[in-house]
Amino acid sequence: MSPKGPEHDRPIVVVGGGAAGLMAALFAARERPSGGVTVVERSRDGGRKILISGGGRCNVLPSQLDPRDYVTSSSPHSLRNLLLSWPLREQRAFFEGELSLPLALEEETGKLFPVSNRARDVRDTLVRSVTEAGGQILFRRSVEGLEPPGATSSWRVHLDGGETLAAGVVVMASGGLSVPATGSDGTGLRLLSGLGHTVRTPYPALTPLLTDPPVHAGLAGVSLEVELTARGAPDRLGDGRSRTQGGFLFTHRGYSGPAVLDISHFAVQARARGRTQTLEVAWTRESEATWESRFIEGSKGSVGALLRRHLPGRLADRILTETGVPTSRALARLKRSERTALVRALAAYPLPWTGDEGYRKAEVTGGGVALEEVHPRTLESRIHPGLFLCGELLDAFGPIGGYNFAWAWATGRRAGRSAGAASVASP
């Protein structure tokens, strides 16, 4: 990079005022104390996904971070380098120290929330920090076109209403397609594809699953901790992690909860390819051998009483009905065939599903711009110099629990710092 000069005062435009965009704008503005950083955000106040995350509390970060928990069809090495470019402890120190936003660990989930338990505090702090650093945010404005430097050395960012912004550097942080009510409509992916970038086919990820007909509607509202396995699914990053553990929730239309959301991408991708992904549930996260021992060694009491000690009552009754075992059957009189059926239903229950809730309720977008097409040290496009990419529009996502915010913060910071420091040729 050449030394800083007058050309450094030429504008930086950040497209998108969500988690990654606000972080990018903040660090770009810090690199550019003379100002000239503009965020274009289509919503009225920005950070809409921050506001709805964690039930309105905002799960800012996970308490542990492992790149192997992330999903990408691009280079796992690139993903790892980008994610760890801002270590978790440093991210937490930034929020608590520089932004004066203390975080608290929720022990049972391993999630970090603001002490205030207010997602609005996270969003408002980021917005305020951007403006205090000298950046400006144009709310209720949409980007409709993006032209790379041609006859002039400026990028041309076309907004709704016919206005055009000239920029020396552009940071794309426009997100994917998930939760369109927050303003995500895939515009950025479309624009980047038009500029020659490879966009891995997007799909809804971390989304509830459906079953039609809703065979488990009678269990709606029942929740428990389970182990969920996608049988025969490809490994996430080659280490066999096609199994999740966590909360499971029956809904009137299907299933939700962290365990379902974290494994839903296997089902969604299989369905898109015309295949059916087999899902199996261990309702107590215990093995078939454990249940086999319980039935053999439990000589006293009934089968129904045993199941209700380990499962919610309605689910226990449903399993007994499906296996045809009377709830009053004494354990000592349990037939081998009945025991076999019960063990299978308890530790490897085939979960029927026929669809998913799509982008409407998806936490993130799978797919996106191939990681190989950005420089890992800067997140600058390998195709168009002066264009930087970050956040959800890149081909990577993590599980529920603050992992996707960690990705947004890390890539937003790297793209923002690089954009702010980049030299741009004079017109």
At residue 114, the pLDDT reads 98
Burial state string for 140-156 with b = 16 or more CB within 10 A and e = fewer than 16? ebbbeebebbeeeebbb
Q: What is the mean predicted confidence (pLDDT) over 256-282?
A: 93
pLDDT per residue as tens digits for the range 260-270 = 999 999 999 99
**Cα–Cα distance, 86 to 269 (Å, whole number):** 30
pLDDT per residue as tens digits for the range 370-395 = 999 999 999 999 999 999 999 999 99
Give residues with Cβ within 8 angstroms of 327, minimum separation 6. Answer: 302, 303, 304, 317, 320
At residue 8, the pLDDT reads 47
Half-sphere exposure of 419 (CA within 13 A, CB side): 40
pTM for the full predicted model: 0.92
At residue 262, the pLDDT reads 95
> Residue 234's pLDDT band (boundaries 50, 70, 90)?
low
Please state the domain extents for the chain.
6-204+363-421, 208-356
At residue 232, the pLDDT reads 74
Residue 112: strand pairing partners: 61, 105
Strands 12-15 and 37-40 turn out to be parallel
pLDDT per residue as tens digits for the range 187-230 = 999 999 999 999 999 999 999 999 999 999 999 999 999 999 99
pLDDT per residue as tens digits for the range 6-33 = 444 579 999 999 999 999 999 999 998 7
> Residue 300's pLDDT band (boundaries 50, 70, 90)?
confident
Q: Report CA dihedral (304, 308, 311, 316) to the nearest 10 degrees.
A: 30
Maximum separation of any 2 CA atoms in the chain, in Å = 88
The class that CATH gives domain 6-204+363-421 is alpha beta
346 phi and psi, to 5 degrees?
Answer: -85, -35
Residue with tokens 């239309």: 253
Angle at 258 between CA 254 and CA 259, to 5 degrees: 75
